Amino acid sequence: MKLFTSYNRILAGITLSGLIVIGFLFYQTLGLYINKQIEDHLYEELLEVKDFAHVKNIVPSPDGFDGVIIGYQKLQKLTDERQIFADTNFYNPKKKHQESARYLKTQLLLNGEPYEVKIIASKFESQEQIKSIVLIILLPLMILLVVLWLVNRFLIRKMWLPFKQLLHNIKAFNINQEEVFKPIETKIEEFKELNDAMVEVTLKIKSDYKEIKLFTENASHEMMTPLAVINSKLDTMLQSNSLKKEDSEILEDLYRATSKLTKLNQSLLLLVKIDNNQLQNKEYINLGTLINDKILYFQEFIQERKLEMTTSLDDSLIYANRSLIEILINNLFNNAIRHNFNGGKIDIKLHKHNLQFSNSSMQPALDPIKIFERFYKDNSSDGTGLGLAILKQVCMRQNYSLLYTFQEELHAFHIQFDNA
């Protein structure tokens, strides 16, 4: 839920609840006030009944005075002289329908005889007046609240517009691009502070990133020279005929270790380039032709391991960076050959929108998440643990989906291309 929506819902809920409570209290207060007026009127009628009986020496007519209904009931004696006020419903003979009313009931002596007198006054007109008053007051108030809510909604959207622009600039910020973070123009002090803080932070991030990037590239390149010298010296020493068997074995171990270190350095440097999005140039690539070329390239390794290869290659033209796609195909071939066993199988299926590499292996099913982590490998592997990590990174940069499955004793890697 967005902040605006949440705020408006809370405000609308509080306003509506307050309006209902205030309307209820206002209606009740008016009702009490009207009841008090009717009770005063009923008491005046009672006094008129007493005066009429005293002057005329007769009981007044039940028709009453001023539209008030008066009822008499003769008693044996007076038992309760309290004046009781209450609500009731009565049939109005003039209007010929039931109405709500307020009555006064008491016992008194009229011409020396005890009577129970009940005086009833209609509340219909008073209730209609209350409803009219409530509508007259609450209806404009509700209209005013709706107008205020709409104005508030418009103002909030306008005031938060710089924040949306700032958020858009944050999403559009790319650390690999030379453009600096775009500041925004606003008169709101809080957004100014946030904008200045973002500009300062992004400048520091770009500065630190450039230093780390430069250091990584320089370190990788500088390592390549001594590693090449070490490999060359070791290769020369291994070709010497004066070495003992023990010395040759030690040199071979050193040669393998430096070779592995060289591959590791190259893989890390490649990952840095992919992470930094340095390989951006794109072109249309025929995947079927590229895979056939790679089959010829890896043919010697396949024959050496006596691997059985089956292929099903449909036409597939993708728009991507050629270097990244070649890295992807090379890693798939390397993985399928290296982790296979002699006489094993490799199956390659290419359709218009997806590619599948399957290979047999002595290893059981692998963790489909951990296998793509950097430096993750099983104990029997002599690789760097970066091949599948590079594979995943390439797919991420090209917006491809990468999935690992294990079916029918075959490890399979599925790649879904984004041909949009």
Q: Give per-residue pLDDT as tens, 128-186.
A: 777 787 778 778 878 887 888 788 778 777 777 887 888 887 777 776 666 667 777 77
Is 31 in the same domain as 48?
Answer: yes
Tell me the per-residue pLDDT of 272-289, one tens digit each, with 9 for 90 and over. Answer: 666 555 556 778 888 888
Is 300 in the same domain as 409?
Answer: yes
Q: 138 or 242: whose pLDDT is higher?
A: 138
Residues forming beta bridges with residue 114, ordered by sequence position: 109
Is 270 in the same domain as 311?
Answer: no
User: What Rg do the C-alpha atoms of the chain give, in angstroms?
Assistant: 47
Is 265 in the same domain as 337?
Answer: no
Is 206 in the same domain as 308?
Answer: no
SS3 28: helix
For residue 152, what pLDDT is reported?
Answer: 77
- Residue 371 is part of a domain; what is its CATH number? 3.30.565.10
Tell me, yes or no, whether 395 lies in a domain.
yes
Is 81 in the same domain as 207?
Answer: no
Is 144 in the same domain as 249?
Answer: no
Rounded to the nearest integer, the mean pLDDT of the chain is 77
Tell me the per-residue pLDDT of 305-353, one tens digit each, with 9 for 90 and over. Answer: 888 888 888 888 888 878 778 888 888 888 888 888 898 899 999 888 8
DSSP summary character for residue 375: T
**Rounded to whole angstroms, what are the CA distances from 186 to 164, 172, 182, 393?**
12, 19, 13, 39
DSSP one-letter string for 232-250: HHHHHHHT-SS--HHHHHH
Is 326 in the same domain as 399?
Answer: yes
Pick from 144, 125, 145: nearest CA to 133: 125
DSSP one-letter string for 288-343: HHHHHHHHHHTHHHHHHTT-EEEEEE---EEEE-HHHHHHHHHHHHHHHHHTS-TT
Please give the residue range of the domain that contains residue 344: 283-416
Q: Among the three residues 214, 245, 275, which one is the final residue of a domain in this structure?
A: 275
Gap between the Cα atoms of 382 and 363, Å rounded: 14
Residue pair 308/358 in contact (Cβ under 8 Å)? The answer is no
Is 149 in the same domain as 7?
Answer: yes
Give the pLDDT band (50/70/90) at residue 416. confident
Tell me, yes or no, whether 171 lies in a domain.
no
Residues forming beta bridges with residue 311, ordered by sequence position: 348
Angle between helix 189-238 and 245-275 (nearest 10): 160
Residue 188 has pLDDT above 50, yes or no: yes
Tell me the per-residue pLDDT of 56-88, one tens digit each, with 9 for 90 and over. Answer: 666 666 554 456 788 888 888 888 888 888 888
Number of domains making up the chain: 3
For residue 66, what pLDDT is reported?
Answer: 54
Tell me, yes or no, whether 308 lies in a domain.
yes
Q: Are strands 354-360 and 345-350 parallel, antiparallel or unpaired?
A: antiparallel
Residue 26 has pLDDT above 60, yes or no: yes
For residue 259, what pLDDT is reported?
Answer: 65
